[in-house]
Amino acid sequence: MLRSIKPAGLVLLALSTGIVAFAQLIPTGGQNRPAPKSDAVQYLFPEQVRVAAGKSTPVALHFRIAQGMHINSHKPSDEFLIPTVFSIPDSEGVKLDSASYPGGDMITLPSDPKTKLNVYTGEFIIQAKLISPAGNHLVQGKLRYQACNDSQCLPPKTITVPIDVIGK
């Protein structure tokens, strides 16, 4: 059986719903800036690569950083900053022979014009060299980075970089 809600209960329900809706409109990024997106880096391509089985083969990995965001380069300007690093777990069968990273751009933040940061913005490419046994291998590579905007940083994040590697 359903019980009827008394008028006082309806008022309480309406108020609590309104408070929740209003709270979603409050900016969380401080100083009326939107909070950084947690999906700041997107893996673009390649989805599939053909490599010479047993030989180190170059593969260009393309990434895009969300507008208004940056990530530390592979060699950040301070040892305490988290570098961008691509890796392939040992259990994948395909090995990462080496990875070459772009140099990054030097920027200063409005809040601290004396500090220069070496970062990636927009699109960037990591030149990886893979060694694959013969056959098809779905590799779950990893990209670790820390994304920031001009006023705050997100916690470090690792995204999956799926690559279908065909060793011939």
* Domain ranges within the chain, ordered by starting residue: 33-167
DSSP summary character for residue 162: E
Instruction: Report the CATH number of the 33-167 domain.
Output: 2.60.40.1250
Residue 163: phi and psi, rounded to 5, are -135, 125
Please state the rounded mean pLDDT for residues 144-149: 94
What pLDDT, on a 0 to 100 scale, did the predictor assign at position 6? Answer: 55
List pLDDT tens digits, range 28-60: 343 434 444 457 998 988 788 999 999 999 999
> What pTM was computed for the model?
0.74
Does the pLDDT of residue 97 top 80, yes or no?
Answer: yes
